[in-house]
Amino acid sequence: MQVADISAGRVEYRWIGARNPAAQPVLVFLHEGLGSVAQWRDFPDQVAAECGLPALVYSRIGYGGSSACALPRPISYMHDEALSLLPELLQVLGIAQPILVGHSDGASIALIHAGAAPHPGLLGIAVMAPHSYAEPISVQSIRAAHDAYANGDLRQRLAKYHGANVDCAFRGWCDSWLNPDFAHWNIEAEVARIRHPVLAIQGEGDEYGTLAQIDTIKTLAKGRVETLILPNCGHSPHKDQPDAVRVALAGYVRSLQGGASSR
């Protein structure tokens, strides 16, 4: 692990491959609402090798070995990351041509970034299990996670990855989504301004969102949109169907490098 300092604190990250970020595209992995560098396991390494590109994997503030966050997190936490913290980290690390690969909350962060204030060198975004708005199924599953954290062993299992940040990680995510005001959270306006190519991936059995999320991106985004809907797959396509996701990501990245940008 390495550490980068940004205005919000210390960010732990892992760099995969050659370290010359200004000279070639870099895959930037954005984790889910309970994720971290370690929880990606070796999936980013596999994708980086398949694509022949370097990759950045990092833990957002409040996760893993990064600095703690203040609680409660504001409902705007994904916008804050997409429009402020992510751009700052890319600048600090000198990444000139990012390709964002986001999962769940990380996917929403990628969508916000691409639609509201994209990095000038952004090449494209790949999103897995994205959220463009809050759905009842999301809230239902998060309530179940809340119960498992309070009464089961979820806190203990997450502490293995987040250590002293375990409450920042869980409560910062869970309490925001269960806030009644979060029912109005919606990034469709940002999605409608996306002009970069998008790859959108979702499992048919996703317990946190329906395929309507993918339909929203296909309908609203102005750039080319590719989709991959996976059977026998839940909320984590890169864990449930890693080979299919890796192949799709590699093909998508090749299309970006070939200059394909029309829908």
- At 198, is the secondary structure helix, strand, or coil? strand
Residue 259, pLDDT > 60, answer no
Per residue in 222-232, pLDDT (tens digit) is 999 999 999 99
- Tell me if 225 sits within 8 A of 263, measured CB to CB: yes
- Tell me if 59 sits within 8 A of 67, measured CB to CB: no
Please tell me the distance from the alpha carbon of residue 88 to that of residue 94, in angstroms, as a whole number.
Answer: 10
Q: What is the share, in percent, of the chain residues with pLDDT greater than 70?
A: 98
Instruction: Give CA 22 to chain center in angstroms.
Output: 22
Section 87-98 average pLDDT: 97
Per residue in 182-220, pLDDT (tens digit) is 999 999 999 999 999 999 999 999 999 999 999 999 999
- Report the predicted TM-score, pTM, of the whole model to 2 decimal places: 0.96
| Backbone torsions φ then ψ of 111, nearest 5 degrees | -65, -45
Section 45-55 average pLDDT: 96
Banded model confidence at residue 22, pLDDT cuts 50, 70, 90: confident
Q: What is the pLDDT of residue 257?
A: 83
Q: What is the pLDDT of residue 7?
A: 96
- Tell me if 36 sits within 8 A of 30, measured CB to CB: no
Per residue in 226-251, pLDDT (tens digit) is 999 999 999 999 999 999 999 999 99
- Tell me if 204 sits within 8 A of 232, measured CB to CB: yes
Q: What is the pLDDT of residue 260?
A: 39
- At 99, is the secondary structure helix, strand, or coil? strand
Helix axes of 136-151 and 166-178: crossing angle, nearest 10 degrees: 140
Q: What is the pLDDT of residue 21?
A: 80
Per residue in 196-206, pLDDT (tens digit) is 999 999 999 99
Section 155-169 average pLDDT: 97
Q: What is the pLDDT of residue 262?
A: 34
Residue 164, pLDDT > 70, answer yes
How far from 47 is each of 33, 184, 232, 242, CA to CA, in Å? 21, 35, 21, 10
How far from 212 is each of 29, 153, 159, CA to CA, in Å? 24, 32, 33
Of 1 and 42, the structure prediction assigns the larger pLDDT to 42
- Reply yes or no: is the peptide bond before residue 72 cis, omega within 30 of 0: yes
- The mean predicted confidence, pLDDT, of the chain is 96
- Tell me if 98 sits within 8 A of 21, measured CB to CB: no
Residue 263, pLDDT > 60, answer no
